[in-house]
Amino acid sequence: MQTRKLGPFDVGAIGLGCMNLSHAYGVPPSPEEGGKLLLRALEMGVTHFDTAALYGFGANEKLVGEVLSPHRSRFTLASKCGMTGVDVKGDGKLVRVIDGRPATIKATCEASLRNLRTDVIDLYYLHRLDKQVPIEDSVGALADLVSEGKIRTIGLSEVSADTLRRAHAVHPVAALQTEYSPWTRNPEIAVLETCRELGVSFVAFSPLARGFLADALRDPTAVDAFADKDIRRGMPRFQHGHFEANLLLLDAFRQLAREAGCTPAQLAIVWVLAKGDDILPIPGTSRIEHLEENLGAADVRFDQALLQRIDDLINERTVSGPRYPEATQAEIDTEEFRPA
C-alpha cells in the first residue's frame, strides 16, 4: 500500500477505524472475531489504527491493546480523549459525557495507556470540543502530555477552522479528523484549506457514509432493521423521508463503480483518496471480507472525469437531510452548509 503523512508519521494511505468492533452499530462482534480482524488488517499492510476512550467505554482500547500490543512497533496508534463514559447517577450505567477539562484529559490518557498496553500513544485527539472549556486549556493539557512523553502528537476531531487555528497557536496540531465522503462535504467549507495552510494532516472518518455508499442498504425497509443501539437510528439521513430520497442516488453510484471496475465501497474510498494526498481515510468494519474489500481501494485507478461525475451526483445539494440530529449537532464545532 502507498504511504501518506499522518503528522510526522508515514502510514498506509488507508487506515482502520476500530469503532465498529465495540461501539455504535448495534451488537459488536465477539472479542475473538474482532481480534482476528485487527490481525488481518495488520497482515494486509494497515499501519494506522484509530480508536478512542469512548468506544465501548474503554472496551475498544482494551481489544486493540490486547491484540496489537505485541506488534506495537509495526503501526501508528491513534486514540482520543475528551468524550468518555461517566456513571452520572451512581447506578453503574455509563453515560456519554463531553469533558475537555485538563484534569479529565490527563486522567483519560492514563487509562488509555493502560488499556492499550503501551507507554506512549502516537496521536492523541481531543474527541470533541468542550464548549465550556477554552480550547487553549484543553490543548495545553495535551501539550503537557507531549512534554511528559505520554503522547507523541496532538489531534483534534470535529472542530472548525477557527478552533483549529486557536489550538495550533498553543501547540502544533498534527492531524484533524472529521467525517468526509461524497455525501458529507462540510470539510470543504473551510477546514481542508486551513489544514493545508497549517500543515495539518486530514483524517476522514466514515468515508463510506456509515455504510450507505458501501451499497449495504438497498431499499427503504433496510433502516427498519437497524439494531436498537445503532446510532444511525437517530441520524436524519437514515430516517424515512430523507432515506428514500437518498436511495435514488445509489443506482447511478453503482454504475460509476462498474465503470471504474470496482465496488461502490471502493469507489467511495478512492474518491476520498483522490481529494488530496494529505487526506487519510479510516473506514471501519466488523467483517474481514469488508476489510479486504476496503483495502482493495488502494489498487483502484480512475480519471478526473469520473471524479467530477461523483461530485455532481452526490453532494451537499443532492443529499437529503442533515448528518446529525439537532442535539448532536449542537455539541460539535464543525462548519455547516447554510440551507439554500
Distances (CA, A) of 68 to 41, 71, 207, 284: 11, 5, 24, 17
For residue 10, list its beta bridge partners: 5
The Cα 264–Cα 211 span in angstroms is 10
Closest CA to 223 of 211, 236, 205, 240: 240
**Residues annotated as catalytic (active site), given as ranges:** 55
Q: Which three cell numbers, joined as nine digits, stand for 171?
A: 501547540
DSSP-derived secondary structure letter, 131: T
- Give the Cβ contact number of residue 247 at 10 Å: 17
SS3 284: coil
Q: Which three cell numbers, joined as nine digits, stand for 237?
A: 439521513
- Give the Cβ contact number of residue 73 at 10 Å: 5
The Cα 73–Cα 276 span in angstroms is 27
Compute the Cα dihedral for 311, 316, 320, 321 and give only its sign: positive
